[in-house]
């Protein structure tokens, strides 16, 4: 039985995407995994879900360093967007950042549940 | 008058009757029954005089006289001796019935016996002793008076015998001579008299002894208790003959003080006579024929008329004077003989060529009413003349000084009432002489200084010829006050002046200077804590009231020229408004002290200097009454601070860059490592043939390649960052651009890019070759990479000069960058803004680092879907 129905992965690195999808499936975390290459794509996808009145993913894994729209920009946009959402996803920042400023900044967003250092492991998933 | 006379009375009756008839004394004989037997003529008169009756023989004596009280005493006495039969003598006064005058009588009553010794009667003798008793009574009275006098008088009363041996002396002797009365009594007064005066006192005594009852005075020196000699005046009266006194009566008084004066007078008289001969004034008496009669020594030694001529009696005065003076002299004498007392000056030159000036006074000499001669008094006034000449000269000079100088001279009387003033008073106090004369000068002194001035004035009055000066505040007619030094000189003893001289000098300037000094001292004390370089005092509007001399040191301005100017008007226009606003804010808030600055303020050369000011509101401080501004030039400090600040900022930025670099690199290294770890964890080691393993291996390869690339990038950046010692060389923008375009030729052709270059404005730059190539390479590559698919790419590259910069501008017509969004990150490391384009996000980061390493900067302008322009600023370091 899957832990969560659907997961959104916003990540520009294809290897990371592949690895994450594989792990999430292997651990039965979720079988319905959508990945987007940057924040902008992620927002556009979520907007589409809202417009089609489809429920949003339960979990969002969000990278920070992405082209076009990075993780922070996504969070800014989504903060506005979630006000019209039926269900609000839990957002986990998934990053290989070592900058403490990023961790501090993450706490400023109430919609961010936690910050996870890459690589994503089975242990991380089990805690969620 | 003794009883034997009467014994033979009856036997020699006739003799006795003859005797009794001749005497003035009264005799009466009565028998044992008091019947009158006999009486003489004397008694007959006595009886009539005192009993107012005629005496007769054979009549009872007391029957006759019974009614008369005068006889009571006699009756009682007879009755008394009838009992004891003894002689009785007594004195008794009787009043004359005819003269109403008191008489004194001695009565003698004798019992009379016959041969058989039988008592036969009584004999009564009555002797008039009125004269004797009156004088005794007078003495008794005078004794009382004498006692009163003695007790109350300051004079000493003394009684001596004819040898001046003292028998009595009054207590007051102690006051005069200091002796106790016992010390004088029984001593000879002679012994106390000055030896030189003993002859005088002997002569006096001799005179007294020969003139009893007549007072004579004498002045002698007498030794007092202290063994010094004092003069006394003695009034002496020889009363040795007076029964109850039998003394020489003396009273004396201390005349020492009077004697001293007398002596002085005597000496003065002697001196006066000496003076006549010793004086320098000449006296000559001439007769009516103008011939010299007599002259004193002065006239003899120096003839006042002709120095060399010896004065002789009989010589004519006209022979002494110069010929041309003769007529004058005669005219003069004519006046004198008319009763006038003319004066005249004559002058002559003595053989030593010395000028002599004499003043002569001619006075007539009268004998009865006729003028018989002329008394000429001549005074040598040569020195006086000289002094006068000097005085006139100096007076003129003084007058000139007084009139010309700022000094004012007042002449006042003892009360300070102005008698005269110099005209310069008007200059000083605005009053004319008329407005001040006869007013007290004290009234022109400020009320707070009157006491001091009065004290000074009184001190002057007390001490002739003294000088005093005092600083005081005087009242100007127009109401303001003037500081003066008041200098007074007491010249009341000077007959010619006989006034107080008061000099006034305006010392307002000095006082103001003193006040400024004292104020500035207070100011200094008040401000020293701030320790500022320039100190000024301004009012609420910024107008300078005072500036410290240090203004000159700092700004080169004369501080005095600042006064009255508004200091804010000089402030740099860009700083002025906020400074004024801060200043006003401070004043209105009531804050005492505030800091302003730094702001720019011009120095005397017009160069702006950075100033910092501490403003202290001391309007409430009476010593300052202003706003104190302590300013210091912080231009140099400011420059250093700015440099420091810039340096610090740069360091912080570099540090942040490095930190960011380390974060980014670690992130970028971690990402592939994390991928490798994940891939490895997915790798099925048990089942190597598992088809997914192949996919994982491919990704493994990809991730390691990614990591290698990242490491190479980092190395490149590190080399750039650490290599500060870059070599600069002169390069042509044109040739570099051609080289880069050649390298990119394939890409340019593939994308049909049009590149135009224009380096006509500036072509040669002094720069690092590799960096410049990198800049061209990256910016051209980016322009191609982010070109629009809607139009053929066009890249324009040109150069221009702007101030110290050489600007190389790269413009394209590409897709542009949303600067609103990415401005902060555009030159950041690993920043990519377009997902559809390949890129590591390092290019712009790298060239920015390269440009900055050469002291330049890079700016970007862009419009989305229109194009982007990068401006590369390179330092024009003057080598080109």
Residue of A19, A43, A44, A61 best to disrupt the B interface, most CBs of B under 10 A: A19
Residue B134 has pLDDT above 70, yes or no: no
Do the Cβ atoms of A19 and B682 come within 8 Å? Answer: yes
Coil, strand or helix at B798: strand
In Å, how far is B832's CA from the nearest CA of chain A?
5
Residue B161 has pLDDT above 60, yes or no: yes
In Å, how far is A98's CA from the nearest CA of chain B?
6
CA separation for the pair B373, B379 (Å, rounded): 20
CA separation for the pair B69, B853 (Å, rounded): 172
pLDDT of res. B150: 46
Which of B670, B821, B835 lies nearest to residue A37, judging by beta carbons? B835
Q: Are A20 and A10 in contact (CB under 8 A)?
A: no
pLDDT of res. B810: 94
Sign of CA dihedral B294, B296, B300, B304: negative
Coil, strand or helix at B217: strand
Q: Average pLDDT of B641-663?
A: 78
- B13 touches A: beta carbon within 8 Å: no
Q: What is the 3-state secondary structure (H, E, C) of B731-793?
A: EEHHHHHHHHHHHCHHHHHHCCCEEEEECCCCCEEEECHHHHHHHHHHHHHHHHHCCCCCCCC
The structure tokens listed for B698 are: 């491919």
- A38 touches B: beta carbon within 8 Å: yes
Which comes out higher in pLDDT, residue B272 or B381? Answer: B381
pLDDT of res. B528: 37
- A15 touches B: beta carbon within 8 Å: yes
Give the residue among B556, B555, B519 at the shortest CA–CA distance from B537.
B519
The H-or-E segment that residue B653 falls in is helix B635-682
In Å, how far is B840's CA from the nearest CA of chain A?
10
Residue A117 has pLDDT above 50, yes or no: yes
CA separation for the pair B621, A15 (Å, rounded): 81
CA separation for the pair B672, B683 (Å, rounded): 16
Write out pLDDT tens, residues B686-720.
888 888 888 888 888 888 888 888 788 778 777 77
Q: Average pLDDT of B463-480?
A: 84
Q: Which positions 676-705 of B are in contact with A (Cβ < 8 Å)?
A: 677-679, 681-682, 695, 699, 702-703
Q: Which residue of B has its CA nearest to A37?
A: B835
Cis before B854 (ω within 30): no
* pTM attached to this predicted model: 0.37
Mean per-residue pLDDT over chain B, rounded? 77
Give the residue among B138, B123, B139 at the shortest CA–CA distance from B87.
B123
Do the Cβ atoms of B681 and A121 come within 8 Å? Answer: yes
- Angle B691-722/B843-853 helices, nearest 10 degrees? 10
Write out pLDDT tens, residues B566-602.
888 888 998 889 888 888 888 888 888 888 878 888 8
Residue of A36, A38, A119 best to disrupt the B interface, most CBs of B under 10 A: A119
With bands split at pLDDT 50, 70 and 90, how would you rate the model's confidence at B342? confident
Residues in Cβ contact with B435 at an 8 Å cutoff, skipping those fewer than 6 apart:
B477
- A68 touches B: beta carbon within 8 Å: yes
- A118 touches B: beta carbon within 8 Å: yes
In Å, how far is A27's CA from the nearest CA of chain B?
12
Which of B662, B678, B706 lies nearest to residue A19, judging by beta carbons? B678
- B655 touches A: beta carbon within 8 Å: no
CA separation for the pair B187, B119 (Å, rounded): 57
B232 forms bridges with which residues in the sheet? B220, B254
- For B336, how many CA atoms within 13 A lie in the half-sphere containing its CB? 28
- For B730, how many CA atoms within 13 A lie in the half-sphere containing its CB? 6
Do the Cβ atoms of B675 and A120 come within 8 Å? Answer: no
Residue B394 has pLDDT above 60, yes or no: no
pLDDT of res. B777: 87
Q: What is the 3-state secondary structure (H, E, C) of chain A?
A: CCCCCEEEEECCCHHHHHHHHHHHHHCCCCCEEEEECCHHHHHHHHHHHHHCCCCCCCEEEECCCCCCCCHHHHHHHHHHHHHHCCCCCEEEEEECCCCHHHHHHHHCCCCEEEEEECCCCHHHHHHC
Mean per-residue pLDDT over chain A, rounded? 87
Which of A67, A73, A99 lies nearest to residue B835, judging by beta carbons? A67
Write out pLDDT tens, residues B791-807.
999 999 999 988 888 99
Name which of B261-265, B771-775, B824-828, B866-870 the model is least confident about.
B261-265
pLDDT of res. B33: 81
In Å, how far is B737's CA from the nearest CA of chain A?
30
Q: Average pLDDT of B760-774?
A: 87
């Amino acid at each position: 039985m899957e832990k969560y129905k659907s997961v959104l992965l916003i990540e520009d690195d294809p290897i990371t995407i592949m690895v994450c999808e594989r792990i999430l499936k292997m651990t039965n975390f979720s079988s319905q995994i959508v990945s987007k290459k940057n924040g902008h794509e992620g927002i556009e996808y979520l907007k589409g879900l809202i417009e089609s009145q489809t429920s949003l993913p339960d979990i969002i894994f969000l990278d920070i360093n992405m082209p076009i729209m990075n993780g922070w920009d996504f969070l800014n946009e989504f903060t506005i967007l979630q006000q019209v959402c039926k269900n609000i996803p839990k957002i986990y920042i998934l990053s290989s950042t070592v900058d403490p400023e990023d961790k501090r900044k993450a706490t400023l967003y109430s919609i961010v549940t936690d910050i996870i250092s890459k690589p994503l492991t089975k242990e991380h998933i089990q805690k969620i | 008058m003794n009883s034997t006379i009467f014994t033979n009375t009856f036997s020699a009756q006739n003799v006795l009757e003859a005797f009794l008839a001749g005497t003035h004394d009264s005799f009466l004989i009565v028998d044992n029954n008091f019947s009158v037997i006999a009486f003489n003529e004397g008694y007959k008169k006595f009886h009539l005089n005192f009993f107012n009756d005629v005496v007769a023989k054979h009549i009872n004596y007391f029957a006759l006289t019974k009614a008369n009280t005068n006889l009571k005493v006699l009756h009682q006495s007879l009755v008394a001796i009838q009992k004891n039969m003894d002689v009785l003598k007594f004195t008794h006064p009787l009043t004359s019935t005819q003269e109403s005058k008191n008489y004194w009588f001695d009565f003698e009553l004798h019992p009379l016996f016959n041969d058989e010794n039988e008592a036969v009667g009584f004999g009564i003798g009555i002797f008039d002793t009125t004269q004797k008793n009156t004088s005794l009574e007078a003495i008794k009275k005078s004794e009382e008076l004498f006692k009163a006098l003695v007790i109350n008088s300051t004079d000493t009363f003394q009684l001596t015998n004819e040898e001046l041996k003292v028998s009595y002396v009054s207590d007051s002797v102690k006051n005069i001579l200091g002796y106790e009365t016992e010390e004088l009594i029984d001593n000879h007064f002679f012994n106390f008299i000055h030896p030189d005066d003993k002859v005088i006192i002997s002569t006096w005594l001799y005179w007294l002894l020969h003139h009893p009852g007549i007072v004579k005075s004498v002045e002698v020196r007498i030794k007092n208790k202290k063994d010094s000699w004092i003069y006394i005046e003695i009034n002496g009266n020889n009363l040795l003959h007076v029964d109850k006194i039998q003394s020489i009566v003396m009273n004396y008084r201390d005349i020492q003080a009077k004697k001293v004066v007398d002596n002085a007078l005597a000496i003065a008289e002697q001196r006066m006579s000496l003076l006549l001969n010793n004086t320098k004034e000449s006296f000559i008496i001439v007769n009516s024929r103008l011939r010299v009669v007599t002259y004193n020594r002065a006239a003899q030694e120096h003839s006042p008329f002709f120095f060399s001529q010896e004065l002789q009696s009989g010589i004519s005065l006209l022979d002494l004077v110069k010929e041309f003076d003769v007529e004058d002299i005669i005219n003069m004498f004519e006046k004198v003989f008319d009763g006038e007392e003319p004066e005249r000056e004559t002058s002559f030159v003595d053989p030593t060529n010395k000028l002599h000036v004499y003043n002569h006074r001619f006075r007539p000499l009268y004998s009865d009413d006729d003028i018989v001669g002329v008394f000429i008094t001549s005074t040598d006034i040569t020195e006086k003349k000289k002094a006068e000449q000097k005085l006139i000269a100096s007076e003129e000079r003084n007058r000139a000084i007084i009139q010309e100088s700022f000094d004012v001279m007042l002449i006042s009387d003892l009360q300070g009432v102005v008698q005269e003033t110099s005209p310069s008073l008007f200059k000083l106090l605005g009053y004319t002489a008329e407005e001040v004369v006869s007013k007290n000068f004290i009234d022109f002194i400020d009320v707070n200084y009157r006491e001091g001035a009065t004290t000074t004035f009184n001190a002057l009055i007390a001490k002739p010829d003294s000088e005093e000066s005092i600083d005081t505040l005087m009242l100007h007619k127009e109401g303001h006050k003037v500081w003066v030094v008041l200098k007074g000189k007491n010249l009341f003893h000077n007959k010619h002046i006989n006034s107080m001289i008061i000099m006034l000098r305006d010392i307002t300037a000095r006082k103001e200077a003193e006040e400024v000094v004292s104020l500035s001292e207070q100011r200094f004390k008040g401000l020293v804590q701030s320790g500022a370089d320039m100190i000024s005092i301004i009012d609420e509007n910024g107008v300078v009231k005072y500036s410290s001399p240090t203004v000159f040191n700092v700004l080169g301005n004369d501080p005095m020229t600042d006064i009255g100017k508004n200091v804010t008007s000089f402030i740099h226009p860009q700083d002025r408004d906020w400074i004024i606003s801060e200043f006003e804010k401070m004043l209105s808030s009531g804050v005492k002290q505030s800091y302003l600055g730094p702001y720019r303020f011009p120095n005397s050369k017009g160069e702006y200097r950075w100033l910092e000011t501490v403003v202290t509101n001391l309007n409430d401080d009476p010593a300052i009454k202003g706003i104190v501004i302590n300013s210091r030039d912080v231009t140099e400090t400011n420059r250093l601070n700015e440099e420091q600040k810039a340096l610090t900022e740069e360091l912080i930025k570099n540090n942040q860059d490095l930190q960011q670099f380390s974060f980014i690199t670690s992130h970028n290294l971690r990402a592939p490592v994390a991928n490798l770890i994940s891939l490895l964890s997915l790798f099925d080691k048990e089942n190597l043939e598992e088809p997914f393993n192949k996919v994982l291996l491919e990704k493994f390869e990809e991730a390691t390649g990614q990591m290698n690339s990242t490491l190479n990038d980092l190395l490149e950046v590190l080399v750039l960052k650490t290599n500060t010692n870059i070599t600069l060389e002169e390069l042509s923008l044109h040739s570099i651009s051609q080289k880069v375009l050649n390298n990119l030729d394939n890409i340019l052709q593939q994308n049909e890019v049009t590149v135009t270059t224009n380096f006509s404005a500036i072509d040669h730059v002094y720069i690092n070759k590799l960096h410049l190539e990198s800049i061209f390479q990256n910016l051209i590559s980016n322009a191609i990479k982010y070109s629009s698919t809607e139009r053929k790419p066009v890249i324009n590259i040109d150069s221009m000069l702007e101030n110290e910069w050489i600007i190389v501008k790269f413009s394209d017509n590409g897709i542009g960058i949303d600067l609103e969004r990415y401005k902060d990150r555009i030159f950041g490391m690993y920043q990519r803004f377009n997902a559809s384009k390949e890129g590591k996000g390092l290019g712009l980061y790298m060239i920015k680092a390269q440009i900055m390493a050469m002291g330049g900067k890079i700016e970007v302008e862009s419009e989305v879907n229109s194009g982007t322009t990068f401006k590369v600023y390179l330092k024009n370091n003057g080598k080109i």
